C-alpha cells in the first residue's frame, strides 16, 4: 500500500486525500509491527530490558503508534463514508465538500493528540519505578500511595480518551456507510432485471469489506484494552495471545484493503507473476 500510494503521488506530482490517508495508515502500521517484533526480541533476549530507560521509551512509542494507527483507520472510514454514502443532512454535505481540505488537518491533529496521550505512560512507568525502588518509610508511604492513585487515574483517563475517541469515530462512520450501502443495494435489488449487475455486486462487496473493517477494528480494541489494564504478567500466555491478535488484525485489515482495491492488487500480482517466471 505504501509503495503504490507513494508511486502514485510521484507520478501525478500531487498528494490526494486518499493517498495521504493510506500513506499515513500503512506507514504507522509498518512501524507498529516492526516495533512490536523488536520489543518482543528485547524482552526475550535482553536481561536488563525492564530495568533500563529503554523500556520506558519502547512502551511510550508503542502507545503512540497504536493510537496513531487507530486514528488513521478511523479517518479512512470517515473518508469512505463521505465519498460513498448519500445522506442529505447539511453537516454531511458540508463535510463531503470539504473533506479534501480538512484531511491534512485531521491527520496532523490526531497525530499530535496521539503523542499527547502516549506521554503519560512514560511518567507512569517512571513513577512506578521510583516508588518501588525508593526505600519505604512510614512518613512517605501514604503520600506515595496518593501519588500513585492520582497518576493511575490520569493514565486511565488519557488512555480512554486516546482509544475511545477514534473507536467512536470509526464505529459511527462505518455504521452510517453500511446503512447507506445497504439501502442503496436493496433499491438496486428491487429494480434488478434478473441479469448479473456488476454495480450491485460491487455494492455488496463494499458492504462486506466495511463490515470486515469494523469487525477487525473492534477485535483489535479488546486485546489492546487487556494489555493496558496490566492484568497479565510479562511474557505470560495471556499477554502473548493479546499481542498475537493485535499483530494479526492490522495485517488482516491491510489484506482486505489490498484485495478490495484493483490499484493495490496490481503490484502483488506483478510480483507473483515475475516470481513464477523466474522459478520456471
pLDDT in tens, 27-60: 999 998 888 888 778 777 776 766 657 777 777 8
pLDDT in tens, 215-268: 888 888 888 778 777 677 766 788 888 888 888 888 888 888 888 777 777 766
Give me the pLDDT at residue 134, please: 46
Distances (CA, A) of 8 to 19, 147, 263, 268: 8, 52, 10, 16
Band of residue 148 on the pLDDT scale cut at 50, 70, 90 = very low
26 pLDDT exceeds 60? yes
Give me the pLDDT at residue 201, please: 66
Here the contacts of 176-180 (C-beta below 8 Å, separation 24 or greater) are: 176/81, 176/85, 176/87, 177/77, 177/80, 177/81, 177/84, 177/85, 177/210, 178/207, 178/210, 178/211, 178/214, 180/81, 180/84, 180/85, 180/86, 180/87
Name the least confident of 81-95, 99-113, 144-158: 144-158
Quote the cell numbers at residue 96.
463531503
Q: Closest by alpha carbon to 40, among 245, 226, 239, 217?
A: 239
* 8 A C-beta contact, residue 245 and residue 223: yes
Give me the pLDDT at residue 12, please: 80
Band of residue 109 on the pLDDT scale cut at 50, 70, 90 = very high
pTM recorded for the entire structure: 0.79
107 pLDDT exceeds 90? yes
122 pLDDT exceeds 70? no
CA distance 2 to 8: 10
Share of the chain above pLDDT 90, in %: 9
Give me the pLDDT at residue 220, please: 84
Q: Which CATH number fits domain 1-131+147-278: 1.20.1070.10, 3.10.20.740, 3.30.160.100, 3.90.110.10?
A: 1.20.1070.10
Neighbouring C-beta atoms of residue 42, cutoff 10 Å: 17
Q: Closest by alpha carbon to 27, among 65, 67, 71, 78?
A: 65
3-state secondary structure of 16: coil
pLDDT in tens, 235-249: 678 888 888 888 888
DSSP state of 232: S
Mean pLDDT for 103-111 is 92
Give me the pLDDT at residue 110, please: 92
CA distance 41 to 34: 11
Every domain of the chain and the residues it spans: 1-131+147-278
Give me the pLDDT at residue 51, please: 64
Q: Which residue has the higher pLDDT, 228 or 156?
A: 228
Quote the cell numbers at residue 210.
466495511
Band of residue 131 on the pLDDT scale cut at 50, 70, 90 = very low
Give me the pLDDT at residue 273, please: 61
**DSSP-derived secondary structure for 89-127:** -HHHHHHHHHHHHHHHHHHHHHHHHHHHHHHHHHHHHHH
Mean pLDDT score of the chain, rounded to an integer?
A: 76
Band of residue 24 on the pLDDT scale cut at 50, 70, 90 = very high
3-state secondary structure of 216: helix
Amino acid at each position: 500500500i505504501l509503495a503504490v500510494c507513494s508511486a502514485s503521488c510521484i507520478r501525478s506530482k500531487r498528494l490526494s486525500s486518499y493517498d495521504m490517508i493510506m500513506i499515513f495508515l500503512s506507514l504507522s502500521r509498518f512501524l507498529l509491527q516492526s516495533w512490536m517484533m523488536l520489543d518482543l526480541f528485547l524482552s526475550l533476549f535482553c536481561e536488563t530490558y525492564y530495568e533500563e530507560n529503554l523500556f520506558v521509551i519502547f512502551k511510550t512509542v508503542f502507545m503512540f503508534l497504536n493510537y496513531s494507527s487507530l486514528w488513521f483507520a478511523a479517518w479512512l472510514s470517515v473518508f469512505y463514508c463521505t465519498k460513498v454514502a448519500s445522506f442529505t443532512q447539511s453537516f454531511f454535505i458540508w463535510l463531503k465538500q470539504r473533506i479534501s481540505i480538512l484531511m491534512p488537518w485531521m491527520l496532523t491533529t490526531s497525530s499530535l493528540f496521539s503523542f499527547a496521550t502516549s506521554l503519560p505512560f512514560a511518567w507512569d512507568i517512571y513513577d512506578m519505578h521510583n516508588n518501588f525502588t525508593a526505600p519505604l518509610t512510614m512518613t512517605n508511604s501514604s503520600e506515595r500511595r496518593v501519588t500513585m492513585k492520582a497518576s493511575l487515574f490520569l493514565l486511565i483517563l488519557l488512555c480512554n480518551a486516546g482509544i475511545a475517541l477514534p473507536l467512536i469515530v470509526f464505529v459511527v462512520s462505518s455504521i452510517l456507510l453500511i446503512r447507506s450501502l445497504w439501502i442503496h443495494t436493496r433499491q438496486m435489488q428491487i429494480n434488478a432485471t434478473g441479469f448479473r449487475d456488476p454495480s450491485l455486486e460491487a455494492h455488496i462487496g463494499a458492504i462486506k469489506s466495511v463490515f470486515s473493517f469494523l469487525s477487525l477494528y473492534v477485535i483489535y480494541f479488546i486485546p489492546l484494552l487487556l494489555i493496558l489494564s496490566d492484568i497479565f504478567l510479562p511474557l505470560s500466555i495471556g499477554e502473548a495471545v493479546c499481542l498475537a491478535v493485535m499483530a494479526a488484525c492490522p495485517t488482516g485489515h491491510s489484506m482486505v484493503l489490498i484485495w478490495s482495491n484493483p490499484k493495490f492488487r496490481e503490484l502483488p500480482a506483478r510480483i507473483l507473476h515475475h516470481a513464477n517466471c523466474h522459478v520456471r
